[in-house]
């Protein structure tokens, strides 16, 4: 439980209009709230008397663990330099396992820095980021990641989240980013086995200019993997003309980017995306209007490196309200302008679904440019 101290700040700091809430015990974390303009990197476990500034001496002076810290950039708040970083919690260590857990960044103001991260860990041997998150509820940010890890050997990002309901992201979104490498910028030795797993990106509003990744792993020598991640679209967000939805992605050595990654399209009436790839399963909850997911280029159902393995549709349900489709109706789930790479694994098979009290049986049907759910039967649910 946090033991908080509230201080009204005077002098130059009062210009920032900032109210600090911080914890005297390290395990419970501290909260940094930005209500005006600051021009330095910020961390939830940074200096509570200087707007979350990094330690004197730089990043290497952070502790080897950070837990339950937060940064909130309120409406009217601004972090004003493209070379800066914003971390909900940050940790560094030359040995042992470096961990960040339960750290958060919430943005409704303007964040100009290169990247905003819920929890960031860097270590020579092993680094882990779990259950960190970023919430975008307005304002502006560039690149965003729920968890981000750099390590010389083992890098793990797991259970991190990015949630966006409004605002603008002028770059990419990553549920989790795992990087293995030692050295200076441009001269790293990227070894080790990075894993980005069980991370989630959920977008229900706002605008994203770049790609959306459930998880990304980077290694030149080891075995990277980005699996069991989830991307969920709902509401009416908009995307850039080149934006793709990507379940998992690896850079450097090949690795698994497909297994158990999930795309959820739930009550979505937003803008098209350019490409969809590296998802093992698709989960649909169609809006009352029955609008499909629109893809301006192509959907890749094939598993990268193993085209014989393709994705499955695991759920088709309809929002309650409006006119109920009848037997024989074809409901488009996806419209892809340039078609598909691969055929869904359960094409032609039956799948059960609901619309309020109605129980449906659908048959999945894929043609050149569409994936359909064809109504086979519909009956009222038993009372």
pLDDT digits over 343-380, tens only? 999 999 999 999 999 999 999 999 999 999 999 999 98
> DSSP state, 348?
T
Q: Which two tokens stand for residue 320?
A: 């309650």
* H or E element, residue 53: strand 53-53
> DSSP state, 12?
G
Residue 290, Ramachandran bin (φ over 0: left; ψ between -120 and 50: alpha; else beta): left
pLDDT at residue number 152: 85
State mean pLDDT over 318-347.
Answer: 97
Does residue 22 carry a pLDDT above 60? no
State mean pLDDT over 20-33.
Answer: 57
pLDDT at residue number 381: 67
pLDDT at residue number 189: 52
Distance between CA 125 and CA 246 in Å, rounded?
Answer: 29
- Indicate the range of 6-20, 135-149, 192-206 predicted with least confidence: 6-20
CB atoms within 10 A of CB 227: 22
pLDDT band at 10 (very low <50, low <70, confident <90, very high): very low
Q: What angle do CA 175, 178, 183 make, to 5 degrees?
A: 145
> DSSP state, 47?
E
Distance between CA 19 and CA 66 in Å, rounded?
Answer: 21
CB burial readout 231-258, b (16+ within 10 A) else e? bbbbbebebbeebbbbbbbbebbebbbb
State mean pLDDT over 136-158.
Answer: 93
Strand, coil or helix: what is 26?
helix
Q: Which two tokens stand for residue 294?
A: 């629109």
Residues ≥6 apart with Cβ < 8 Å to 381: 354, 357, 358, 359
pLDDT at residue number 383: 64
Residues ≥6 apart with Cβ < 8 Å to 173: 143, 144, 145, 162, 164, 201, 203, 208, 210, 211, 212, 213
Q: What angle do CA 28, 32, 38 make, to 5 degrees?
A: 155
CB atoms within 10 A of CB 368: 8
Q: How does pLDDT run across 233-249, given as a tens digit for each residue?
A: 999 999 999 999 999 99
State mean pLDDT over 70-99.
Answer: 91
pLDDT at residue number 16: 22
DSSP string, 234-281: EE--EE-TT-EEEEEEEEES--B--TT-EEEEEEE----EEEEES-SE
pLDDT at residue number 9: 20
Q: How does pLDDT run across 178-221, given as a tens digit for each residue?
A: 998 654 444 455 567 899 999 999 999 999 999 999 999 998 88
Q: Which two tokens stand for residue 67?
A: 């837990």
Q: Which two tokens stand for residue 274?
A: 């350019």
pLDDT band at 3 (very low <50, low <70, confident <90, very high): very low
Q: How does pLDDT run across 284-313, given as a tens digit for each residue?
A: 999 999 999 999 999 999 998 888 899 999
Distance between CA 82 and CA 87 in Å, rounded?
Answer: 14
The stretches of the chain forming alpha helices (DSSP H) are: none
């Amino acid at each position: 439980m946090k033991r908080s101290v509230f201080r009204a700040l005077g002098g130059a700091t009062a210009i920032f209009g900032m109210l600090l809430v911080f914890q005297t015990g390290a395990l419970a974390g501290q909260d940094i709230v930005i209500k005006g303009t600051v021009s330095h990197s910020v961390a939830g476990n940074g200096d509570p008397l200087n707007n979350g500034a990094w330690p004197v001496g730089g990043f290497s002076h952070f502790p080897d663990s950070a837990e339950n810290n937060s940064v909130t950039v309120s409406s009217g708040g601004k972090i004003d330099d493209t070379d800066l970083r914003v971390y909900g919690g940050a940790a560094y260590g030359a040995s042992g396992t470096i961990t960040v857990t339960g750290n958060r960044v919430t943005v409704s103001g303007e964040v100009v820095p290169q990247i905003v991260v819920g929890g960031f860990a860097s270590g020579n041997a092993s680094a882990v980021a779990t259950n960190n998150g970023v919430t975008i509820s307005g304002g502006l940010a560039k690149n965003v990641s729920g968890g981000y890890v750099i390590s010389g050997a083992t890098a793990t990002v797991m259970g991190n989240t990015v949630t966006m309901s409004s605002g603008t992201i002028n770059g990419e979104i990553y549920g989790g980013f795992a990087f293995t490498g030692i050295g200076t910028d441009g001269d790293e030795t990227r070894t080790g086995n990075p894993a980005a797993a069980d991370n989630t990106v959920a977008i229900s509003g706002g605008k994203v200019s770049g790609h959306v990744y459930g998880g990304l792993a980077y290694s030149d020598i080891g075995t990277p993997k980005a699996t069991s991640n989830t991307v969920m679209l709902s509401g009416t967000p908009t995307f850039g003309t080149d934006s793709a939805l990507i379940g998992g992605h690896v850079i450097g050595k090949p690795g698994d980017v497909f297994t158990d990654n999930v795309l959820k399209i739930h009550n979505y009436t937003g803008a098209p995306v350019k490409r969809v790839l590296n998802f093992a399963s698709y989960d649909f909850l169609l809006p009352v209007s029955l609008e499909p997911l629109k893809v301006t280029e192509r959907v890749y159902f094939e598993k990268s490196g193993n085209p014989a393995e393709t994705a499955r549709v695991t759920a088709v349900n309809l929002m309650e309200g409006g006119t109920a489709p009848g037997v024989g109706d074809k409901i488009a789930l996806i419209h892809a302008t340039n078609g598909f790479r691969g055929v869904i694994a359960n094409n032609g098979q039956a799948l059960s679904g609901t619309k309020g009290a109605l129980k449906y049986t659908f048959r999945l049907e894929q043609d050149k440019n569409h994936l359909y759910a064809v109504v086979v039967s519909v009956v009222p649910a038993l009372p």
